[in-house]
């Protein structure tokens, strides 16, 4: 069983409009609602790949109840969300059908009390028993300590559970120092962490800060990985047009599933890149086009990288 942690769960609402224009009224052609937050998106992809997944984090209010109702309808995903007094946030994605671009609006999330945070940490430690891997994903809701992920990484390591960290800013900086097995920043998050805009040098620097492996998402250029075993770049055969929301979460699911299956790094990166690209073809985050995914598994190019000087 794989565990995903989403401290700032959400109800993801996607609107599709013919053309998004500032200062204009728009007629929405389609509305979809899904349980969301990065770790929830990861869990849905993992379940679609055939893994049993448990989702934990916080849930509260009317929006939280909708998230749990919709989560209950996802085969292979178990709900271990911890109740709080505040209301779960909503995220709004507006997809421009003409350009394919997506505009994202993210609410901050509920304020978590010290007692609620303590209750979560106890529940998290209990859930680690029998887990093959854990992903810690996304932003921190108000009230959660900035070093929260560092503590959760240490708890997982003490339990002997491999841990992947996917966050940004100061939570990432502190989390890396706790030595997660994998971190998966995008190019901007990696540059913010290391101060370097040269990806290969930056991934090496991030490893020196404590991460066992660094897998950087480079958008249409695929993934760049620096690990104990070597350095690889994985690229899709061609850029894909569509909705990029959730592509990074699909890459996390690919890495985590391959980690749980003990696959070598080139196979992990092939799966993660193919899933990420196939998610661009799906209408909402947490889903992927299976036909595109299976085709790309044979077409993703994985090459070894030479170390930066």
Q: Single out the residue of 294, 300, 303 nearest to residue 237, CA to CA.
A: 300
Distances (CA, A) of 16 to 12, 89, 95, 193, 239: 13, 20, 5, 34, 22
From the list 12, 181, 205, 249, the catalytic residue is 249
Whether the CB-CB separation of 41 and 286 falls below 8 Å is answered with yes
- Active site includes 289? no
Residues marked as catalytic:
249
């Amino acid at each position: 069983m794989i565990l995903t942690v989403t401290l700032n769960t959400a109800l993801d609402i996607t609107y599709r409009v013919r053309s998004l224009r500032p200062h204009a009224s728009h007629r929405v052609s389609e509305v979809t609602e899904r349980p969301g937050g990065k770790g929830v998106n990861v869990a849905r992809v993992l379940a679609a790949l055939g893994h049993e997944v448990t989702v934990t984090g916080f849930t509260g209010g009317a929006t939280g109840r909708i998230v749990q109702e919709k989560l209950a309808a996802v085969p292979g995903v178990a709900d271990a969300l911890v109740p709080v007094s505040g209301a779960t946030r909503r995220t709004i994605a507006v997809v421009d059908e003409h350009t394919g671009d997506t505009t994202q609006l993210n609410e901050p999330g509920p304020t978590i009390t010290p007692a609620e945070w303590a209750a979560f940490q106890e529940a998290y430690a209990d859930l680690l028993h029998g887990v093959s891997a854990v992903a810690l994903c996304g932003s921190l809701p108000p009230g959660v300590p900035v070093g929260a992920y560092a503590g959760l990484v240490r708890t997982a390591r003490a339990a002997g559970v491999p841990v992947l960290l996917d966050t940004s800013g100061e939570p990432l900086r502190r989390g890396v120092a706790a030595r997660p097995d994998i971190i998966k920043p995008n190019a901007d998050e990696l540059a913010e962490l290391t101060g370097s805009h040269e990806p290969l040098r930056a991934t090496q620097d991030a490893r020196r800060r404590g991460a066992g492996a660094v897998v950087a998402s480079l958008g249409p250029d695929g993934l760049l990985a620096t690990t104990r075993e070597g350095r690889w770049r994985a690229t899709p055969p061609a850029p894909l047009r569509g909705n990029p929301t959730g592509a990074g979460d699909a890459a996390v699911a690919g890495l985590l599933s391959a980690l749980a299956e003990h696959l070598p790094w080139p196979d992990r990166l092939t799966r993660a890149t193919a899933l990420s690209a196939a998610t661009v073809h799906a209408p909402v985050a947490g889903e992927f086009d299976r036909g595109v995914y299976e085709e790309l598994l044979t077409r993703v190019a994985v090459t070894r990288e030479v170390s930066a000087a």
